[in-house]
Structure 1
């Protein structure tokens, strides 16, 4: 950043040029970048081919013709541990991107070969053909494509709220091995699946004094003498009996809280559209039951 006078865009360009330079690659090869080697790291004199516009930003030169290139030599003091760390992180990022590209290329080539040789395996759910590497199987060896299993798991844990993943094949009561789920599901989906399985295990155990948070799926055993349940996951405190927020419930019985919720201050009973409106709440109540027609609506407020 010092070499580019604190300007981000030129710095990123220079950093990319440095990583691709022969001098830097030889330095990395001959001397590992580490905290112990920082103080003894040599200065690198790099000849970078920078566009004229970037040179103008760096040096404050006059604007040159569009597309003109300049060759600028400068001494980069690669003795700053923070700079070396950033360079190493950026290099690792580039390697990760290249690994992903290579992996996708291998998948595409494999798919093309299967299509040419007509050796695809049929999914027992959608009946499309896929390479064997893209299939998952239950304990009874029924094969499904990854997309079908992903949709099935999402529907089970989000739509139905269950963690039991029975095989999708007709008349098969088997389940899917753990390694097949880890291979197919995204980390957040797999974590949600494990959470559903834990909930079902707790529910089946039928533990005494087990209290569940009404705002999330957290559950814990609460001592019988405690009336308020403080969730360790979302941090909300509720009544263990009626599950109303404890700040609104404190000092009152559950019956009082429920009766108050039945008639909120913004509830209006319409007796006659032309004559009478009955307000129930903090303002008070006018008794007009003999003329009540049974029309109810709520005014937002």
Structure 2
């Protein structure tokens, strides 16, 4: 008799880590698979399901139930991806003959457009940040870097001091799947980073007896490496100065970075490389036209957009 799905979950976790998946991806996949197993128990009565007991209909039923509960298309697609990866792993392990999720069609892409911050609000937010204490300088450098490079929050906290090249104005980033890319730094981000680095040593010398990390670029108040959770909360608090609670999450800065580049005429493939996407289709979600750009295009191109002066008199 085969082992239970619960047994294979821990092995799957180790497999994802060995494959080089980020901690965020591992955590998200494990939560999604656990939700699927909980669904099998509560909705289908499978208290300790075995791999062969799960079929295509069970996966479709799972997605349908979530859709009726109000999950958006992006969330459904991610959960299907997690279940599909899990059973793909089980197939390689010989626990199932076929992947029951492989033939399930994912929800159609193109649900909600990514939220972003317009240029003026972004300027007001960044210009309003205090810059007196070392931690305030650190916070300003974090926000300028996130907006100026489009880094994920996990990529940001993994940066070391030597990830920066201030002479060439670039940062070396380790992204998903351990893929490395070099991203240019704008003038504002470089200025904020230099101001922070000049006083960064204060945190290491005044952080008490807790373990220090002299290599980490961004430090917590005690001199250790800033964690992903700590950075998330910090950025959210800073964004709440200007944005609504629903928009105040670090990833909106990545959306904003991509949107502002494309609005400025950047090539889609260049933006793909800057974001660290492996597929162009992932970047294409940012090709929506902002209201400001739409008005500008309309005013420049439509023959009736601008009334003649004599018509206005």
What TM-score results when the alignment is normalised by the length of structure 1? 0.19
Q: Specify the structure having the higher radius of gyration (Cα).
A: 1
User: More strand per residue: 1 or 2?
Assistant: 1
User: More helix per residue: 1 or 2?
Assistant: 2
What TM-score results when the alignment is normalised by the length of structure 2? 0.19
